[in-house]
Amino acid sequence: MPKFKLHTKIIIGLVLGAIFGAIFAINPNKLELNTGGGSETVENWQEFFFLKKDSVIKTFAANDQLVIIKSYKALKDKKDVKLKIKLSDGSEKIVENVSSIEKVRTIGVMLKPVGDIFVRLLMMIAVPLVLASLIVGAASLTDLKHIAKIGGKTLGFYALTAVVAISIGLACANLIQPGNKMDAVSKERLMDTYQDEAKTRIDQNVSMNIVDFLVNIVPKNPFKAIADGDFLQIVFFAILTGIFLVQIPSDKAKPVITFFEGLSEAMIVLVEKIMIIAPYAVFTLIAATVAEFGFNILQTLLWYSLTVIIGLTILTFVEYPLLLKAFTKIKVTDFFRAQKQVLAVAFSTSSSAATLPVTMDVCEKRLGVPNKIASFVLPLGTTVNMDGTALYQAVAAMFIAQVYGFDLNLTQQLTIVLTAALAAVGTAPVPGIGLIMLLIVLRSVGVPEEGIALIIGVDRILDMCRTVPNVIADSLACVVIANSEGELGEILPDADYPGTM
Ligand code: ASP
């Protein structure tokens, strides 16, 4: 058995997971009907009806698996409801007393708990790591002037990359016009299938008021912020604590800083150990996503998905390399080679926060960024810098507007630049939040919020894709800022992931 390096194993896990998931994909024409006395499966129906007192209340077609499940769940009173199923051989069957309807699970999704444990372990590390490393990072930047300088550079760099990212997204959406390629029937079907899920997201009622947004960054209770995993509030508290630890007598500050230094180092060592299971975890996560994903919907939303992916590709492989070349002497290939496991973890977990411990380890031990810069720039970037999400929000807003027949003028598109940049800052670094924060962008240009029902079906896949540039931009900022401070060390050759083996 050849001995592969860890990052190679992770990539193999990713590819094999996708193949495994495709082989053991959930059958889109098969359903499990749970009745009081057990369960039965039906397959290959041609038509599917809900009956009440023997009259048809809803009719579904062969490819309506998801609509059937969701519609049955949404029925308020299931008592007298019967299912009539017309099978492909022409026969009919009636099923009564059905409590729930589900997809039939396969081994493709059954291994997912391994991946879930991996993601939970990384998330478990993320909050203490952000807190501890930012306190240490801010405290090690010695004086307020230095912190303001590094903080200013970091935020400036993040703002620059976000505005360019959003502009790339808008350009792609204007050129490709994905919304104008969608027909009315597909629109109706998507709205029917996902309107309940859209409503749940809309009910979360995100605030678009910039004043509220800024006020909310200040935690009333930092311990609650930590318990809730509210990253912006944690960042605010940690930076202030770090700054003021330097202002008090060093005999009092030292033990506190040493405590957080120890906590942060322990978290990093822990992540190196957790990464040992990464190849298997990545395998199960990707297998489950592929097995569960309804590829039909990808067809319906092909132009939209392609527009987002083309935008993200330009961002990652054109904008970032140009910035890397402009601001550092690092070779583009060396930079991306060092990022392999960061990319695989970001893609399979869809979470910048879960990826943060890996990003920190790689920046410090592979890219030669000193701890005091990495521990300040990366947690801040994970929280506020989401170029991929910002680009996606711009494309999504344009797409929904196009489907609804709105023609957004230049001023409205400039409004998208501003609101998407803000919405991305407010997006928590965990899966799926970018979609909720998109509501802010939609509201700002008067596009109906219910429109998110159109894109929910492909959100998970696009979330995986947008999380990749979200984390690469953080590493990029890290090397750019370290370099500008004259503190960038040597980049390590393509050695194995430090400390893992
Ligand atoms: N999943 C993204 C991240 O963690 C956030 C989002 O766009 O939903 O970076």
| pLDDT tens, position by position, 203-242 | 876 766 778 888 989 999 999 999 998 988 999 999 999 9
The dihedrals phi and psi of 344, each to the nearest 5 degrees, come to -65, -40
Residue 346 Cα to ligand 1 middle (Å): 9
pLDDT at 500: 44
CB 377 within 8 A of CB 478: yes
CA angle at residue 356 from 350 to 359, to 5 degrees? 105
How confident is the prediction for the chain on average, in pLDDT?
90
State the pLDDT at residue 1.
43
Give mean pLDDT, residues 33-58.
Answer: 87
- The Cα–Cα gap between 495 and 5 comes to 8
Report the nearest-CA residue for atom 6 of ligand 1. Answer: 434
- The number of the ligand 1 atom at minimal distance from the alpha carbon of 392 is 7
How many whole angstroms from 431 Cα to the centroid of ligand 1? Answer: 5
DSSP 452: G
Best residue among 351, 455, 465 to mutate for probing ligand 1's pocket (most ligand atoms within 8 Å of CB) is 351
Model pLDDT, residue 39: 87
The residues lining ligand 1, judged by C-beta closer than 6 Å to any ligand atom, are: 350-352, 386, 389, 427, 429-434, 463, 466-467, 470
- What are the pLDDT digits (tens) for 356-367? 999 999 999 889
Query: Where are the domains positioned within the chain?
Result: 30-104, 110-122+161-215+275-500
Question: 493 C-alpha to center of ligand 1: Å?
Answer: 30
H helix runs in 58-205, sequence order: 65-74, 107-110, 112-140, 144-176, 184-203
Predicted confidence at residue 204, as pLDDT, reads 76
> Which amino acid residue places its CA nearest to atom 7 of ligand 1?
434
| Residue 463 near residue 432 (C-beta atoms within 8 A) | yes
Contact residues for 219 (Cβ-Cβ < 8 A; gap 6+): 225, 230, 233, 234, 236, 237
Ligand 1 centroid to Cα of residue 491, in Å, is: 28
- Please identify, by atom number, the ligand 1 atom nearest to the C-alpha of residue 433: 8
The pLDDT value given to residue 494: 60
pLDDT in tens, 294-319: 777 788 899 999 999 999 999 999 99
Mean pLDDT of 440-453: 92
Confidence of residue 158 (pLDDT cuts 50, 70, 90): very high
Among candidates 122, 125, 133, which has minimal Cα distance to 380?
133
Residue type, 418: L
pLDDT at 53: 82
* Ligand 1 atom nearest residue 429's Cα: 4
CATH superfamily of 110-122+161-215+275-500: Sodium:dicarboxylate symporter (1.10.3860.10)
Nearest ligand 1 atom to the CA of 432 is 8
Counting atoms of ligand 1 from 1, which one is nearest the CA of 388? 7
* pLDDT over 60 at 499, yes or no: no
pLDDT score of 207: 67
User: Which residues, in sequence order, are CB contacts of 214 under 8 Å at separation 6+?
Assistant: none
Indicate if the pLDDT at residue 189 is higher than 70: yes
Supply the pLDDT for residue 322.
96
Closest CA to 311 of 387, 422, 254: 387
Per mean pLDDT, which range of 1-5, 111-115, 259-263, 330-334 is the poorest? Answer: 1-5
pLDDT of residue 455: 95
Q: Is the pLDDT of residue 401 over 80?
A: yes
For position 258, what pLDDT does the model report?
Answer: 95
- Which pLDDT does position 164 carry in this prediction? 96
Quickly state the pLDDT bin for 495 (edges 50, 70, 90): low
The rounded Å distance from CA 468 to ligand 1 centre is 9
* Region 100-120 average pLDDT: 93
User: Which residues are CB-neighbours of 192 under 8 A, at least 6 positions away?
Assistant: 67
Residue in 385, 436, 467 to alter for ligand 1 test, most ligand atoms within 8 A of Cβ: 467
Report the pLDDT averaged over residues 28-54.
88
Among 463, 472, 475, the mutation site with the greatest number of ligand 1 atoms within 8 A of its Cβ is: 463
Q: Is 38 left (phi over 0), alpha (psi -120 to 50) or beta?
A: left
- Ligand 1: which of 123, 312, 343, 350 to mutate, judged by most atoms within 8 Å of the beta carbon? 350
Residue-by-residue DSSP string for 127-143: HHHHHHHHHHHHHHT-S
**In the predicted model, what is the mean pLDDT of residues 334-350?**
92
How many angstroms separate the CA atoms of 456 and 463, rounded?
11
Report the nearest-CA residue for atom 1 of ligand 1: 431
What integer is the mean pLDDT of 109-134?
Answer: 93
d(CA 203, ligand 1 centre) in Å: 20
Distance 57 CA to ligand 1 centre (A): 40
